[in-house]
Amino acid sequence: MSNVAVVGTQWGDEGKGKIVDWLSERADVVVRFQGGHNAGHTLVIDGEVYKLSLLPSGIVRKGKTSIIGNGVVIDPWALVDEMERLREQGVDLSAENLKIAENAALILPLHGAVDRAREAAASGETKIGTTGRGIGPAYEDKVGRRAIRVCDLACEDTLRERVAALLIHHNAILRGLGQPEVDQDDLVEKLLEIAPKLLPHVDVVWQRLEEARKTDKRVLFEGAQGAMLDVDHGTYPFVTSSNTMAGQAACGSGIGPGQVGFVLGITKAYTTRVGSGPFPTELDDEIGQRLGERGREFGTVTGRQRRCGYFDAVLVRQSCKLGGVSGIALTKLDVLDGLDELKICVGYRIDGEVYDHLPALAKSQAKVEPVYETLQGWSESTYGARSWADLPATAIKYIRRIEELIEAPVALLSTSPERDDTILVQDPFHPQK
């Protein structure tokens, strides 16, 4: 048996929702290990649509244990709202099937206020394109050792002490940004009010994962965003505030790195990006517009329209190497149906020199000109294909060329939002030796 970590290999929005749902049915435990409620998955099960932001995908399936790991930053109010919304959809949520790491850091209302105020004060190229939900400031507090953690909700004395120390820092920032300061007593009361809705789910999740290991249970580690939004390895500073690579699955949940298992990189058959930052293959033409419309490229959480472009093999190869990707799940192939020709980026030209990777320097990233290879498109429909025999020869050629360029095999191929419209090449839970 093998555990599986699911990560994005581009800038997020690769279609992880369907894949993690497909895998969660085969898993015993599903763990969310990083990020906040600035990302999400849309699951469609028996015609019912579930929109998840913080809750792991396993929560909509009976008999699964869902865990929110310590690497996640949790907005208590957003989480409770999401839990109540799913209960209204008939999902069973209990202390038995949903567990929250006691050492996870909280996102407070002041984090969103700071986030939005700083973004509003920024100008031009300094705007990051943040969702304004406080994820960045919450991670800053975690690293700065002033965060309020889930376990603090169980002790009022500790909570008051931690909030007082936190506000010394944040009220100074809010004053400097011309924003109203936060009242200490009011914030503490709000936290004490929400605490009883979360505390029954709080657990020592690293122990639960150790129990899962000893009993040979299959664990699915579910990431958010994508490799190029990783705070270390992404297109810095236009990145998220956490590590999005599979290595974070270990630190963000409380297991050893050897237990992560098969790393499945979710990869869209073209490229999209939300927010600011470099995007070498972006298309500001009819093809880009067509990809956005056919692919329904709008954010699950924010509703923001995504920027669209050709497949960037340089970017995905880099992500696969950095993240130790065992195989990819190629999604949204059907969006490319009907295009006469397709281009794949095979190199970057910067000031006349060709690179086989994306340099770390932001000024170099901004200068990138894509070097393209052109392939023949296909007129036939690939929508709903469930075997290689259902695919046009030119579509198969496109897939094989992607495998060659990114130096990673296709383990799954998705041809529609429906979970059964998936071509399985290699089961990540039963990897071939």
Active-site residue flag, 41: yes
How many Cβ atoms are within 10 Å of 173's Cβ, its own excluded?
16
Active-site residue flag, 201: no
Burial of 85 (0-12, 13-18, 19+ CB in 10 A): middle
How many Cβ atoms are within 10 Å of 366's Cβ, its own excluded?
13
* Residue 27, CB-side half-sphere exposure with 13 Å CA sphere: 34
Cβ distance 410 to 423 under 8 Å? Answer: no
Q: Which of 21, 28, 41, 152 is catalytic?
A: 41
Amino acid residing at 64: K
Closest CA to 195 of 160, 143, 170, 145: 160
Cβ distance 384 to 415 under 8 Å? Answer: yes
CA distances from 380 to 178, 228, 419, 421 (A): 58, 32, 21, 16
Residues contacting 65, CB < 8 A, separation 6+: 28, 29, 30, 58, 96, 97, 99, 208, 212
Please give the order of strands across the beta sheet that includes 422-424: 202-203, 98-101, 65-68, 29-32, 219-222, 4-8, 262-268, 327-331, 410-414, 422-424
- Interhelix angle 156-176/135-143, nearest 10 degrees: 120
Q: What is the spatial distance between Cα 336 and Cα 377, in angstroms, rounded to a whole number? A: 8
Q: Which residues pair with 98 in a beta bridge?
A: 66
Cis before 56? omega within 30:
no
Cβ distance 252 to 71 under 8 Å? Answer: yes
- Judged by DSSP in three states, 320 sits in helix
Residues catalogued as catalytic = 13, 41
